[in-house]
Amino acid sequence: LINLKAEFTQYKISELQKLNSKYSLILYRWLSMQYNQYEHYSVKGGRRAEQVEAYRNPSITVKELREITDTINEYKAMTNFTRKILKEPLEEINAHTSFNVTYEKKKAGRSIDRIVFHIEKKRKADDNSYKLEDKVYQDDKKQKEETEQALVFQAMESKYTKLLSENFLIGMNDIMDTATMAGLQKNVYPRYDELKELRGLNGVKEHLSYVRAKQEAYSKRNVAKYLKKAIEQYLPTVKRQDLS
């Protein structure tokens, strides 16, 4: 393993200072050393092309990764290990450093054996056209965030959120999830309004009771999508009955 106690000057101090998690720091140092090798041999030569690319797409066994992060006896479940050692640190690294990093899990038999990282350097804003493009992107992103927050606020105030909670169709994790609540307010609650116009609030309650009784475990992964599909399938039936 590469010695992670090497001189601090090997890394970008300013970027390290922006990282809060110890696992983010460890992972960033290791990735930096790999990418430094890639940049060095890309310019100087001395390695075959596939060897140079391997520095940009470095691989490490799960055992080695546990050793350098000092988690040999922690996060035994792979889901917890992935979240604490890979997902959360890489989110921080991608947000606060010059790297964009993704990863793949590689299996040996039925178990995850190693992790392969893919490192990309972020494009620098060194020309006006890029700055303009970035400003447009940031403005659009800000507008989308403001719209999403408005939807979440409306959802939190909606009687339908309370009904969904009472029927155990959403839990606290769903209520705390911005995307879920915005999705409900935008795509589901307007259709509940339609049903309410046709059958009253009791009609909405009966529908939710039925949906809860028929709910499959898989639906909890994307409850907003599941509820949207359920009401979209039910509304046409109600409308046909009212016409007959």
- Residue 157 CA to residue 24 CA, distance in Å, equals 37
Query: Which residues does 65 contact at the CB level (< 8 Å), separation at least 6?
Result: 85, 115
Q: Which domain holds residue 209?
A: 128-238
Phi/psi at 120 (5° precision): -125, 140
Asked if 87 and 137 sit in the same domain, the reply is no
What is the chain's pLDDT, residue by residue, as a tens digit (244 residues)?
444 434 334 445 667 778 888 999 999 999 999 999 998 888 888 888 889 999 999 999 999 999 999 999 999 999 999 999 999 999 999 999 999 999 999 999 989 999 999 999 887 654 454 455 555 556 566 777 778 888 988 999 999 999 999 999 998 888 888 889 999 999 999 999 999 999 999 999 999 999 988 877 666 678 999 999 999 999 988 888 776 5
* Count of domains for the chain: 2
Is there a single domain that holds both residue 15 and residue 101? Answer: yes
pTM over 0.75: no
Write down which residue in 121, 153, 179 finishes a domain: 121
Nearest to 55 by CA among 63, 46, 64, 67: 46
- 168 Cβ contact list (under 8 Å, min separation 6): 212
Q: Is residue 243 part of a domain?
A: no
CA dist 113 and 34 (Å) reads 20
Last-in-domain residue among 89, 106, 121 = 121
